[in-house]
Structure 1
């Protein structure tokens, strides 16, 4: 269920982070330029693939935790290319009534999501830049699906790293947080500037010629993105350390993640 019937013509000469991410996860919605950047980043640091898979696993565990705590509405900002284990798929297994509003500005992500969600009354895709929070919150595919008088989980997973400090991502997220009722949640994951042994600087530098480039933040800077949201245990940790399944492999360094409750 998408917003309108727009057709998009992606620029296949410039790599897109969402398509590179899709490539690393084994998806098929990527182009040669995306695979070239993805392989270049793997050469810089081979842990990048297990790192993003840890991030994807965090999404599944966080959505499961939220459903188990009676949160059945989700606003997924920068949702990316639809792959196995999307928010609406994970949520629907536990709470069939769950509603998910996806938001992305990348043409391929929007087109593929529109096709995937066709005929699904509980999930939508909105073509918008998440920084334009007023447009996002007023979009029929968001406001017409989610009830902002009830708790909502806003997810910003591995997306705020594509905005530098001049773009003020903390203020952008604060606008979304202010639109939520108490008992809502904010989920954030972000690449780290603090991890020894991981060439995050090299990985970030490799994205400079992509459609958008990555910006490192320290754990303390990522903490500030949560504003007054109160982090649930175990707090802001490596994504693989956030409520892992029994017997899960050791967490891969590189990405911090957490879930905060709106007071």
Structure 2
């Protein structure tokens, strides 16, 4: 157990911000008990520090995770930050502290390792589901898709969709974490998106969606309908944004010419 005095850190909620917290904690020799991202409220008796993100320090810590420990460890920390694990920052910091001051547990069933590896497994599986379950719709030449994941899966989905749709402009909106993956002209960005208001689909898009729903209904075999098995392969929570499970879209009316 560390002898460093404990504290609470408020940061901007980004991975670079978290790495800055790690660097500052090592520099000041303080041990964060709580990490508070924007909007988080926590009553604490520990001294509270505001840690502004420092890109240079974050890059130095990021490099050190590989050079001082291993590439696999850096990957674990990167993926771990994307999970929905409660107080994930504290779990990550505990392992980083062990890696630099003692030694990482070699037993994969150690609670500190097992908790994180299970969370990462959940992240990876969820991203794999969304590679097949995302549905895009055309809005004025831009493809728009919406998802509501438990984990922050956009960084894992980015390579797949950027390679799959290299000539398109698209937006994949994560409603849960209020961020979007933007892609156009071979360039991409992940940026905050608090709210996404979409117009009704065009006549052509509505017809395309209707055809997709018709195809989905046509290929079904009524005699082999098995809701329980379908739920196993396609959990209910993924269906809210899938075209084939949506009611008929009402197309927008074409604008009258003067």
TM range (shorter): 0.3 to 0.5
Q: Which has the higher contact order (CA 8 A, sep 6+)?
A: 1
More helix by share: 2
TM-score (structure 2 length as normaliser) = 0.33
TM-score (structure 1 length as normaliser) = 0.33
